[in-house]
Structure 1
């Protein structure tokens, strides 16, 4: 499996992984209104004022198994967001592989010394994965609902 830039066809597949408004909010935040057209996702997921990279983890047939983005959020840090694994691929280590590839791509394209992300505290699987990858909570930027996590890399 490898990471490549997301295509319009990929956004159609990723959109099919989002079954309802609650899932859309958990994945992309409150600005993505459900239902949405897959063709609107590239613009809807752009971060104003930031160059946003959208990538898919694909298999040998180029079918996406995961999706994520990265952008420079603050000086010296690159932020990962909108990380999702295809429902049929969950529980098989795809999330770990996707995150490792996203981290590598984010660091390769920036001069960042840290990688950040957010995770819902209630998403125990994601939090455990991120902690196992070396991320730790930044309490001053976290809320009761959402953990802000950072991994120092250089």
Structure 2
């Protein structure tokens, strides 16, 4: 999954500005705190098609980060299934009251997907659009 972004712009959409494009996999893993945060992979027909993190960033809130879909299967609804699975997992934790994520303003497909799944745009944070979904 760490090799899926094909260029610096795509890499930035996934990791933001904190991780340098071309960094070795172990450095990326360290920077995204891979061993400390809930890390999820999504498989279809035994092939890795999605990667994301979902962890308690603030009390009673799950934050979704570093979500990426394998370029081979983009545009086929895999991202929607993956996000729905992440939401289901987050809501299964009784204490979860809300779910947050950040997305770059120019990432229109992702913003549309999140809005379609009920997320509200609640502001901007470090040049990113902050989105939030409340427990019903």
The answer to whether the superposition gives a TM-score over 0.5 is yes
State the distance in 2 between where 1:144 and 1:39 align. 25
Task: Kindly state the Cα deviation for residue 146 of structure 1 after the two structures are TM-superposed.
Answer: 1.8
| Larger CA deviation: 127-136 vs 50-59 | 50-59
SS of alignment partner, residue 2 of structure 2:
helix
- The corresponding residue for 2:107 is 123
Q: Is 2:65–2:102's contact at 8 Å kept on the other side of the alignment?
A: yes
Q: Is 1:51–1:72's contact at 8 Å kept on the other side of the alignment?
A: no
Deviations 1:15-52 (A, max 9, x none): 221122222222112221121222333322118xx941
- The corresponding residue for 2:16 is 29
Deviations 1:49-74 (A, max 9, x none): x941111110232x211111111111
State the distance in 1 between where 2:41 and 2:63 align. 16
- The corresponding residue for 2:41 is 56
TM-score by length of 1: 0.79
State the distance in 2 between where 1:29 and 1:110 align. 30
Q: CA RMSD in A?
A: 2.1
Q: Which has the higher helix share?
A: 1
SS of alignment partner, residue 54 of structure 2:
strand
Q: Is 2:13–2:107's contact at 8 Å kept on the other side of the alignment?
A: no
- The corresponding residue for 1:106 is 90
User: How many pairs align?
Assistant: 136
Matched, 1:44 2:28: no
Q: Which structure 2 segments of 5+ residues have no match?
A: none
TM-score by length of 2: 0.88
State the distance in 1 between where 2:65 and 2:94 align. 16
State the distance in 1 between where 2:82 and 2:98 align. 18
